[in-house]
Each structure stands twice: as C-alpha cells, then as structure tokens.
Amino acid sequence: MPFIRVAALAWLLFAQLGWAQNAIRLKTRTIDPQRAVGQGWPVGRALVGGRHYLLQFPSYPGPEVREELARRRIRVLGYVPDNTLAVLVGVTLNLEGLGVSWAGALEAEDKISPVLATHAANAFLVIYYADVDMQKARALAHLEGFEVLENPSLLPAQLLLIGAYQAIWGLAAWDEVSYIMPASTDLLAGTPVMGCPGPLTEAGPIGDYVEVGNGWSKDPNGGVALKYYFETLTNKMDASTVQSEIERAFQEWARHANISYSPGQAQGVARSMDILFASGAHGDAYPFDGPGGVLAHTFYPAPLNSEPIAGDMHFDANENWHAGSNTDLFSVALHEAGHALGLGHSSNPGAVMYPYYRMQTGLTADDIAGVRALYGAAVTPPVASGPTTPVQPPVQTPAQPPAASPPTTPVQPPAQPPVQTPAQPPARGDTTPPSLSMVSPALTIVATSSASIAISGTASDNMGVAAVKWTNSNGDSGTASGTTHWSANVPLLVGNNVVTIRAYDAAGNSAWRAITVVRR
C-alpha cells in the first residue's frame, strides 16, 4: 500500500538522520526515547496482542496514521505529548512498516499519582483504559484485596476502591489499569457529582497519567493574550448571565497568572477560544450524551491542537445549567478554562482541576501553582509616576512668630507593678504524652452504611492512662470503655465523620489519632 511505503520511507529517513525525538512527559517521569531504547520495545519485535502500549512517531500522528493503525486492529485510546499514541494492540503485531520510532508500556510506577505518597489515604480513584471490561476490573480489584464502593456518579472505566496503600502497587501492575489517584470525600460520601473526561486533542483524549502541556506560546512581552468568542449559548439561563459567569471564570485564572482575556469578533481566530453550547453530535469526535452525563469538554491549546479548534470549550446544552447552584456554570467553566490553558487533571481532591467538578468560588494553591508553571505569576500593573493627589503649596512662614503655646506636661506612662520573683521555681511535672494506637478499624478511611462504628485500640503511659475519650466532627463526644485496652461505639451521621480519639494521663498530657468514616 502507498501509505506503508511512505511510512517505511519515513522510518528509514528517521533512522539515517538520527532524529532528535521529543520526550514523552508523564507525571512520574519523562521518557527520552533516544535514551530509553532498552526500556522500550524494539521496532522489529512483535507486540503482544491484547495489551496497551505507547507508540511514538517521528512527527504528529495525523488521520492517515491513525487510519492505518485501525486497519491493523490497533485501537487508539489517547494522545500523549509529544507525537505519541496510547493504543490497544488487538492481535500480535510487528511494528515494521508503521513508521513507529519508539514503543513501550507504562510501568506500575507511572500509574500511581505522586500525590498518594503524601496523601496518607486508603481510598483510591482507579482509572482503567476505556476498552477494559469493568467486570474484569472489579475482579482484579478484589484479587488485590480492595473493597469496591459503588457510586453511580463515576465516569465509565473508573472504580472507587478502599484498601491498603501498599496494595496499589500490585493493582497498578495490571495492564488494564491506567492511573490511580486519591478519592475525594465527595466520591466516598456518595455525594452526586459530575465528572470531566479530561482535556481533548484531535488525536484522542489526554490520559490522567500525562503531564500538562506547554500551554500557549508566549507573546513578545512574555505574557499570553487570548481572545474568546461566544458561538452559541444555552437557553437554560439568561444570555448575559451565561457570558458573565464564563468571563468571571477566565478572569479568575488571569488574577493569578501572566495571561489576559478579551472578547473576540469572530470564531476560528488564532489564539482564541470558541465557546459553544451544543447537543449530541456537534462537529467533533466527542458527542454529548444528554442530561446527567458529560457536562463539557475542552481542547488543549496549540500546538497539541491546531487552529481553529485549539482551546475551544464545548458545553452540553441539554444540562440544567445554573448560577450559584448545581449545575453551576462558573465552577464547570473554571475547570474547563484550566484545560484551555493547557492544564491536565490534578490528583489533589480539593483542586479545581480534580477530575470531578464541585462548587468552587476560586482557585486553590494547587491550581495556581499549575498555571504559574506554564505562564508565570500575574504581572502587577505599574504604579503611575508622580503623586496621586494634588501637590500642596508650601506653607508660608509668617514674619512674626506665633504666640507661644502654653507648655505641655509630657504624659507619663502608668507605673507598672513590680514583678514578683518566686522564691523557688515551680516544680516541673510529667510532660510525657501517652502512647495511643487504633487496632480496629485498621484503615484511616472507612465507608459504612451503619448508624455507628465500633473503634478499639490500646494506650499506655509512663504514669498510667487516666482516660480515653472520643469526639466526632458532627458534635458528638464520649468516653471510651477501658484505658490500656479501650473501645467505643461512635454514632454517625450520613456523610463524612471525622472521629478523633484522645488518651489522657493524670498530668493532662494527651495523644490523639483520627479516622474518617463515610456513612453512605
């Protein structure tokens, strides 16, 4: 076939010229294909069928490349900067003739969010590849010792799991798993939430394991000036409110980074974000699914997407949009505007850029750090030169000095009482806090449907444990039974309950442990 001959010629030219391949930027590491040959898959070796790989090409894999991959029963699942496709190989396949310059698979370490190392949680949002059978995904989770929490708000190919942190390494080693991050308390509590499928490119969606893009190219002054154009609006809200809420989202990003926004005069203009509300199929490869599904999607800026689609934001017109309540347009637009700037999803559950929308009033420190990494901090407007108030004329000195004022007596501060020095310093008492541990439950985050939870553990102290008490974030409190071996039955409210256990000794020293219990 002509395409195969062209691809083969491109590969030979690549090999002869020693093309400096672009790096593959993951959240855990950067893969330099030129230096990672031993870690990749030799071009002459057959790929194992039924597995997921990254295939990098010497240049952007356009529609012709993807059509040839489909003919070879290779399913494209996403795009990875730079010039790389995440694919599922359907049958055993040799790479020769495809123009592939490097091939490899994600390691288990690449699938585990770095945030988990410091998050100290045992509740996880696990994202599988889009082709994975979710019954098999559940079976794998159980096999690795995880409990599956049902949540109807989850996006397709995602599971909410509870288990030991150490067990995620075994789960990540399975080929079916794409990425693992901390679960938000909204997901754990079963609170109805809406998910974002992630930023898009013309070649496919961007995986959550991928590092952010480079963003828009800088203007000569070092900043980025962008325009936006409202192509179509929703009839679920007043038109002026729709525009003002989206513009407010833009300005929130501009408050913290060296970017600016201004209205555009036409659609399809370079460095402009077209905003449209649409239903179902609307001209791209990502049709909307009606109320309650995907709320919006956004295309990464150039060069990951070419104009005129670069940075465009699409909203599902069938959603019941609101201002200040669910479904809150500002909160969704704030998240999607982050994608339009080149940000991917964050693994921090409280961040605006976490994969699930929540009511937001502004950016978090995590979001600000992300956008400043691309564009730098917002530039403070220069202070106008000269005084800001009229200059007062100089005071004229009279020829004759004014009459002398009566002398004033300086005000003396009130006398301070003398500090009494004790004859002997107070005796220093016991300052050693007790030792406290929770035996059951063994996890720091627990989900249950019960109206209470039994908590037990041990405590010890050099002078003896006087009492063990508990408090719940819902306002309840009580004293546990026992001291060195203690137990308590703590009532729960629906939602999140943070239960704190404290052990006291006779001198008043205390130690504490806390557990989050989600009553569903």
Phi, psi of 242 (to 5 degrees): -55, -50
Q: How far apart are CA 254 and CA 248, in angstroms?
A: 10
Give the strands of the sheet with 485-491, arranged side by side.
435-440, 452-460, 485-491
Phi, psi of 12 (to 5 degrees): -65, -40
Assess contact for 431 and 502: CB atoms under 8 A: no
- In this structure, the chain runs to a length of 520
Buried b (16+ CB within 10 A) or exposed e, 88-106: bbeeebebebbbbbbbbbb
68, 202, 252, 336: the catalytic one is: 336
Strands (E), 116-157: 123-128, 147-149
Buried b (16+ CB within 10 A) or exposed e, 228-258: bbbeebbeebeeebbbebbbebbebbbebbb
Q: How far apart are CA 346 and CA 115, in angstroms?
A: 9
Burial class (CB in 10 A: 0-12, 13-18, 19+), 32: middle
Q: How far apart are CA 287 and CA 317, in angstroms?
A: 12
The pair of three-digit structure tokens given for residue 304, joined into one six-digit string = 């990951």
493 membership: H or E segment, kind and range? none
Residue 386 region, left (φ>0) first, then alpha (ψ -120 to 50), else beta? left
Q: Is the dihedral of CA 9, 11, 14, 19 positive or negative?
A: positive
Strands (E), 361-462: 435-440, 445-448, 452-460
- Name the residue among 4, 134, 135, 148 with its Cα closest to residue 64: 4
Strands (E), 340-484: 356-357, 435-440, 445-448, 452-460, 465-472, 477-479
Enumerate helices (H) and strands (E) in the chain, giving the number of each.
9, 29
Question: Cα 219 to chain center, whole Å?
Answer: 27
Using DSSP's 3-state secondary structure scheme, residue 86 falls into strand
Using DSSP's 3-state secondary structure scheme, residue 149 falls into strand
336 assigned to active site: yes
- Name the residue among 402, 515, 506, 505 with its Cα closest to residue 453: 515
Q: How far apart are CA 81 and CA 205, in angstroms?
A: 11
Assess contact for 8 and 98: CB atoms under 8 A: no
CB atoms within 10 A of CB 15: 12
State the maximum Cα–Cα separation within the chain, in Å, rounded to a whole number: 109
Residues designated catalytic: 336
